[in-house]
Chain A
Amino acid sequence: MSKKIIELNNVTKRYNGVTAVNNINLYIRENEFITLLGPSGCGKTTTLRMIGGFEEPDEGDIFFDGVRINDVPPYKRNINTVFQRYALFTHLNVYENIAFGLKIKKIPRDEIDKRIKHMLKLVDLEGFEGRHVDSLSGGQQQRVAIARALVCEPKVLLLDEPLGALDLKLRKEMQIELMNMQKNVGITFIYVTHDQEEALTMSDTVVVMNNGVIQQVGTPVDIYNEPKNRFVADFIGESNIIEGIMHEDYLVEFSGQKFKCLDKGFNQNEPVDVVIRPEDIELTAPEKGLIQGVVTSVVFKGVHYEMMVEGGGFEYMIQSTDMQPVGANVGLMFEPEDIHVMKRGS
């Protein structure tokens, strides 16, 4: 495993008495693509800004390469940022925008030329040097912002919802481009977004945050398949979250029945939340299902149908290519590994 490049130890940040980030601990490894994910106001941007040096933590320490950097101003950090809505310098053209950081570092002119040329190639904007930034499309401005930050060869690149202002198609394209870029330049990306799909697509590691607290850290697959609590399950993808009771290891009760599952380590008869992803439930004939129910609504979603089925005292959401009309009696079928048991109320 590569070494830790950034560490946050017990970091807390308050604004006028409101806690934005609450005692978080996090480390980031070299060359990692890590995403801070959460709803707006969850503290993800504040965390990023503290790493960038735009905010100072009220408590705790931030380390960069083993050195405490709490009060190091942004212009002395070997970290660069791609800002929300890009924050390009509108009085400068594309070349001058990208050259801004290099000129401050007093890099010789021909070296600047060379590096900008290379950068423009990387972000696919060759020949745009003289263009005024206002004349560029959102996607192009976005790529100038990335080039402006990357050309300084930072050890860490911070990206604050960089794709937020782009339309869906462009976003998908840029997601792929960013991932490729990160692999090519081989530096750490810390990415902030509220879009769970974006986070799952791009990251090596996802950090789910809510109310200033880290809820779960893990690979996209872990986060999706094994949500640690109700918030994560709810925020990542669609889920059915049912209240249940853990009778003993590998046996959980919900919807009035007992089911085998793969979870263990709970107290006897502990109340729990049970998650079943809508795509993990299969529709069968009523008598073949584990739970019997009636279809209450059907919505066509393109790839699949989304159906609500009332049964066992709960309204289950089911995503399936097999459509059953409203009013049909159906059975719900799922396997023990589709059942995810979580601690209640955490």
Chain B
Amino acid sequence: MVKFLRKFYMSLIFIFLYAPIIVLIIYSFNESKSRGHWGGFTLKWYAELFRDREIIKALYYTFLVALLSSIISTVIGTFSAIGIHNMGLLGKKFALNINYLPVLNPDIVTGIALMTLFISLNIQLGFVTMLISHVVFNIPYVILSVLPKLKQMNKHTTEAALDLGATPAYALRKVVIPEIMPGVITGALIAFTLSIDDFVISFFNTGPGVTNLSIHIFSMARKGVKPSINALTTLMLLTVVILLLLINKRTTKGDELIP
């Protein structure tokens, strides 16, 4: 009985989670442009998607910003985490609390605050400001995923390297960074995911001609129906499922899927 209830409940939840996506997938093959009307099977929306210069450009900027911002924030974040880890109690507390602000603050506040800064400094909003703002909100997550690894590390590990003749720089390169690598990778993945999914911060900090996927969908959705979005949804679902299956194959523990 309990078993049945559990299954029944989970089924309902999964219907709730997947119904909207499945509806979009069905529409993506619908000949008719109208939402409720089945006009026969077609692939033309997929063709249109790939012809749509705006969408392609948005995808390009989405991935470019995600890639650049995650690389930059992983590098800065990792070194900063090592620095913060070695600070005194007071300095550490101060740094961590400011570092927490972009995590705790609503995106919209972070977004408009950065926009205010850029405009006050007379910086033209565009690709660069969008990239900087992504780096700003990505670094804290990198730091938060690297710090626990530093804390787990035996506190004498660096000293052991120095003791064996390593200079501080060599110890950092050959011992500290390899030891905290899992945290660095987690941080990079979180940064990439956040960046690719971001809307609010990009929305306020981008300029004419530069959009990302979220901004593009937002402006299309406000205008109304565009079936190529449906095609995009199908492709994204496919990508996500394939990626997750690949990751799932490599890791045995389910917990590691959690971003």
Contacts and interface: CB of A to CB of B under 8 A. Distances in A.
Whether the complex brings A and B within 8 Å at their CB atoms is answered: yes
B237 to A, nearest CB: 37
A191 interface: no
Contacts of A149: 163-164
Contacts of B163: 52-53, 74-75, 79-81, 83, 149
Contact of B154 (A79, A86, A100): A86
Contact of A100 (B161, B179, B181): B161
A54 B159 CA distance: 7
B162 interface: yes
B89 to A, nearest CB: 11
B165 interface: yes
Nearest to A152: B164
B160 A75 contact: no
B164 A104 contact: yes
A299 to B, nearest CB: 39
B236 to A, nearest CB: 35
Given A75-B167, A91-B181, A152-B165, A85 B154 contact: yes
A92 B157 CA distance: 12
Contacts of B160: 81, 83, 87-89, 148
Contacts of B164: 75, 80, 100-101, 104, 148-149, 152
A225 interface: no
Interface in B154-204: 154, 156-157, 159-167, 170, 174-175, 178-179, 181
Interface string A12-31: 00000000000000000000
B173 to A, nearest CB: 12
A101 B175 CA distance: 12
What is the size category of the interface that chain A forms with chain B?
20 to 34
B109 to A, nearest CB: 39
A9 interface: no
Interface in B126-163: 154, 156-157, 159-163
A80 B163 CA distance: 6
A79 B164 CA distance: 9
Contacts of A84: 156
Given A75-B167, A83-B156, A104-B170, A89 B179 contact: yes
A229 B204 CA distance: 75
Contacts of B179: 89-91
Contacts of B165: 75, 101, 104-105, 152
Given A75-B162, A90-B179, A91-B179, A85 B156 contact: yes
Contacts of A88: 154, 160
Contacts of B161: 89, 100
A80 B160 CA distance: 9
A73 interface: yes
Contacts of B174: 100
Contacts of A54: 159, 162
Contacts of A52: 159, 163
A101 to B, nearest CB: 3
A157 to B, nearest CB: 11
Nearest to A80: B163
A76 B170 CA distance: 14
B150 to A, nearest CB: 13
A323 to B, nearest CB: 48
Interface string A197-235: 000000000000000000000000000000000000000
Interface in B42-82: none
Given A75-B167, A104-B170, A87 B157 contact: yes
Contacts of B178: 89, 91-92
A263 to B, nearest CB: 45
A73 B156 contact: no
Nearest to A158: B163
A74 B159 contact: yes
A262 B164 CA distance: 50
A83 to B, nearest CB: 4
Contacts of A92: 178
A83 B154 contact: yes
B162 A89 contact: no
A86 B154 CA distance: 9
A6 B161 CA distance: 22
Nearest to A73: B162
A29 B80 CA distance: 44
Contacts of B154: 83, 85-88
Interface string A224-260: 0000000000000000000000000000000000000
Nearest to B171: A75
Contact of B166 (A53, A75, A87): A75
Contacts of B156: 83-85, 87
21 contacts: A53-B162, A54-B159, A74-B159, A75-B163, A75-B167, A79-B163, A80-B163, A81-B163, A83-B154, A83-B159, A85-B156, A87-B156, A87-B159, A88-B160, A89-B175, A100-B166, A100-B174, A101-B165, A104-B165, A104-B166, A105-B165
Given A80-B163, A91-B179, 20 more contacts: A54-B159, A54-B162, A73-B162, A75-B166, A79-B163, A80-B164, A83-B156, A85-B154, A85-B156, A87-B157, A87-B159, A87-B160, A88-B160, A89-B157, A92-B178, A101-B165, A104-B164, A148-B164, A149-B163, A152-B165
Interface of B: 154, 156-157, 159-167, 170, 174-175, 178-179, 181
Q: Nearest 9 pairs between A and B by C-beta? A: A101-B164, A87-B156, A83-B156, A87-B160, A91-B178, A104-B165, A74-B162, A87-B154, A81-B163
